[in-house]
Amino acid sequence: MCLSKPTVAGDAASGSSASSSCTGMQSNRTCSLRDVCSSAGNGIKHRGNKDSQTKEVEDSLGYKEENAVYKENEAASEVLAHQQKQQEEAEEEYIPQIRWPDLGAQSFLHAGALYGIYLLFYAKLYTFLWVAVTILVSGIGITAGAHRLWSHKSYTASLPLRVLLAFAFSIAGQRDAYTWALDHRIHHKFSETDADPHNAKRGFFFAHVGWLFLTPHPKVIAKRKVIDMSDLEADPVVMFQRKYYIPLFALCSIVLPVMVPWYFWQESLWMSFWINFNMRFCWTLNVAFFVNSVAHMWGRKPYDKNIMPVEAPLVSLVALGEGWHNYHHVFPWDYKTGEFGSYTLNITTGFIDFCARIGLASGRKFVSPDMIKRRAAKCGDGSRFLSDDYAHKDQVWGFGDRDLPREDLAELAKMQN
């Protein structure tokens, strides 16, 4: 697991390379690979210092370094070196460019949203209630649909539920579900690297909205071609929504929200447009992107202190449960996306549970309490044990404490001997 290439017995250079590879992996993933790398490193050391008996066995097999199975292909090496050089040059030359049509669209949406907020004070009560309902429905389309179902496969949805979620997500207007899930899978797989579409290391503004109108990094473009999307390509609901996204956007995100108040309770068409399109659209957009920005920057890290995502209860409140982000990046397959919090701070979980109760959802995946406890104890910043129901559970007072882990006791016993 720690070796970067096949290791030939007796090849001290390979052993050294693999050992250094393990060292690098430990520095980046100390929480998950320390023991594996340690054992692999010991094995490499043993092979590099073979005893005479091992040497005799190799001689009897006719082993010669020049006869080793693994050899460098000079032509392939040259091609690889050329590709690496091109990649390095592309990285050096990468300067993000503004995509002016996208910037213009975002400027129109946000300026119109401010005007919509002003008009909301003069709108009819039913218009206010209508915009609240459409925000909630479209939000569920994002959280229960594009995110927890299609991006992470954290539960299974029946055909009627998938159709409903695709309709709700179309109201949100945040591209088609296939494209949304593709970028989100890349975000989890390559979080906070150049391959992350909204890399939080590039600052709050870029992670929040800048990535929408700046040219993506070449690594983002490259990774979009390699992420496995076969499960969504086999889903006719997702592919239908992708194929007809433009007319669906026009109908579900503009016509329906704007025309209902005008037709049913004679709201001004002008007022309805700025409130039910611009303001509603920007609300769901910015709330969703608070998860990309705020929930990657400010907060506690109870489950893994080595990553940027944090726990953001306020974001969870407005984003229907999506703000428990340190937990979510550690356990992205959990349909709840968080360990604690009632339905008040995780409305989406309540929606999925309700759908499961009436037979529309099944196969909800979650994480066991023991798995959470182990990860928090090993990798977290300690806040989980200071601020929740598990405070100080299984903490140790010193040598002889019965809560000492078995592996620690075994190591201590060896040290005493």
Look at residue 12 in the predicted model and tell me its pLDDT.
41
In this prediction, residue 378 carries a pLDDT of 86
Domain assignment present for 389: no
The pLDDT of residue 408:
77
Does residue 254 lie within any of the structural domains?
A: yes
**In a shared domain, residues 39 and 154:** no
Residues 36 and 126 in one domain: no
pLDDT at 29: 45
Asked if the structure places residue 74 within a domain, the reply is no
Pair (133, 9) in one structural domain: no
Judge whether 386 lies within some domain.
Answer: no
Alpha helices (H) in 141-275, listed in sequence order: 159-172, 177-189, 204-208, 218-223, 230-233, 236-243, 245-248, 256-265, 269-273
Query: For residues 4 and 18, is the Cβ–Cβ distance under 8 A?
Result: yes
User: 299 and 231 in one domain?
Assistant: yes
Q: Mark whether 332 and 233 lie in a shared domain.
A: yes
Q: Is the pTM of this model over 0.75?
A: no
Q: If residue 391 lies in a helix (H) or strand (E), which one and from where to where?
A: none
Is residue 413 assigned to a domain?
Answer: no
Secondary structure (3-state) at 214: strand
- pLDDT of 131 > 60? The answer is yes
Residues 169 and 279 reside in one and the same domain: yes
68 inside domain: no
Q: What span, in angstroms and rounded, lies between the C-alpha atoms of 196 and 91?
A: 14
219 lies in the same domain as 326: yes
pLDDT at 397 over 70: no
pLDDT given for residue 172 in this prediction: 95
Q: Judge if 46 and 114 occupy the same domain.
A: no
* pLDDT of the residue at 64: 44
What is the pLDDT, as a whole number, of residue 398? 63
Q: How many domains does the chain have?
A: 2
Query: What tens digit of pLDDT does each residue of 9-66 get?
Result: 444 444 444 444 444 444 444 464 444 344 444 443 444 444 555 445 444 444 344 4
Same domain, 167 and 26: no
Q: Pick from 63, 84, 109: which residue ends a domain? A: 63
Tokens of 88: 């390095």
Q: How far is the C-alpha of 182 from the C-alpha of 32, rounded, in Å? A: 26
Does residue 94 lie within any of the structural domains? no
| 294-311 confidence digits (pLDDT tens) | 999 999 999 999 999 999
The domain of 118 spans 101-369
Whether 397 is in a domain gets the answer no
